[in-house]
């Protein structure tokens, strides 16, 4: 009876920890089993009211701000590509910066902020063009969706850090994070034990 009570307490503690984790920013790393558009992605996710929003950190596009806004001369100063932040509002440009840009910016974690307000984004491009990461779109979760995806094992979750969020070498980011989290890929089908 004592062991059963202990097991129940462990389960309740684990569920409580997961619920608390969803109340703060997370770094989500796609599990090996997650297929489709989020295969091998890493995202920064934050709670926003009863929902969650996130930005894919490792989907650089071929597009640059200079190509998107050829009439806006300061955009030509931005060296990095625009990242596909997610499938929602892909016509909006979000600027993620490591300082409060003022205006309608959303605080993500530590001193990392994001804004899609046109004047604020323009000011960032004009004053500190290469101190930001620019995203087209975002990922959104309805209430309970992210918790369900975590329960299904689709994501590995970790604390976000500024170094990862602003890492300019995003091509191998998923592999680096999987290794850092100790989540080695399963062996190929022909190599598994029967």
How many other CB atoms are found less than 10 A from the CB of residue 192?
8
191: pLDDT strictly greater than 70: no
For residues 149 and 168, what is the distance between their CA atoms, to the nearest angstrom?
Answer: 28
Residue 11 lies in a domain: no
For residues 42 and 139, what is the distance between their CA atoms, to the nearest angstrom?
Answer: 12
Question: H helices of the chain, where?
Answer: 2-21, 65-68, 118-127, 145-151, 162-165, 173-180
Residue 28 lies in a domain: yes
Q: How do residues 71-107 score in pLDDT, each as one tens digit?
A: 999 999 999 999 999 999 999 999 999 999 987 899 9
2: confidence class by pLDDT, cuts 50, 70, 90: very low
How many other CB atoms are found less than 10 A from the CB of residue 194?
2
Domain range enclosing 100: 23-184
**Residue in 81, 104, 88 with CA at minimum distance from that of residue 55:** 88
**How far lies 1's CA from each of 10, 47, 183, in Å?**
14, 39, 35
Q: Is 54 left (phi over 0), alpha (psi -120 to 50) or beta?
A: beta
Mean pLDDT of the 15-24 span: 58
169: confidence class by pLDDT, cuts 50, 70, 90: confident
Q: What is the pLDDT of residue 12?
A: 35
Residue 150 lies in a domain: yes
Residue 115 lies in a domain: yes
Q: How do residues 30-74 score in pLDDT, each as one tens digit?
A: 999 899 999 999 999 999 888 999 999 999 999 999 999 999 999
Residue 146 lies in a domain: yes
Number of domains within the chain = 1
Residue 50 lies in a domain: yes
Mean pLDDT of the 14-42 span: 80
Residue 8 lies in a domain: no
Residue 9 lies in a domain: no
Look over the chain and give the mean of its residue pLDDT values, rounded to a whole number. 86
**Residue in 7, 28, 9 with CA at minimum distance from that of residue 150:** 28
* CATH code, domain with 150: 3.40.1740.10
């Amino acid at each position: 009876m004592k062991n059963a009570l202990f097991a129940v307490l462990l389960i309740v503690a684990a569920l409580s920890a997961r619920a608390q984790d969803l109340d703060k920013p997370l770094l989500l790393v796609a599990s090996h089993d997650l297929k489709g558009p989020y295969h091998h992605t890493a995202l920064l996710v934050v709670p926003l009211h009863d929902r969650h929003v996130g930005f894919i950190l490792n989907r650089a596009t071929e597009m640059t701000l200079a190509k998107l806004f050829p009439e806006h001369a300061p955009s030509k100063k931005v060296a990095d590509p625009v990242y596909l932040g997610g499938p929602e509002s892909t016509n909006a440009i979000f600027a993620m910066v490591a300082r409060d840009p003022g205006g309608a910016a959303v605080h993500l974690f530590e001193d990392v902020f994001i804004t899609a307000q046109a004047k604020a984004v323009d000011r960032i491009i004009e004053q500190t063009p290469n101190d930001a990461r620019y995203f087209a779109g975002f990922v959104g979760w309805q209430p309970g969706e992210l918790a369900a995806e975590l329960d299904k094992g689709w994501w590995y979750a970790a604390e976000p850090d500024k170094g990862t969020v602003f890492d300019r070498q995003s091509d191998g980011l998923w592999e680096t994070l999987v290794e850092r989290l100790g989540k080695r890929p399963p062996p190929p089908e022909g190599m598994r034990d029967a």
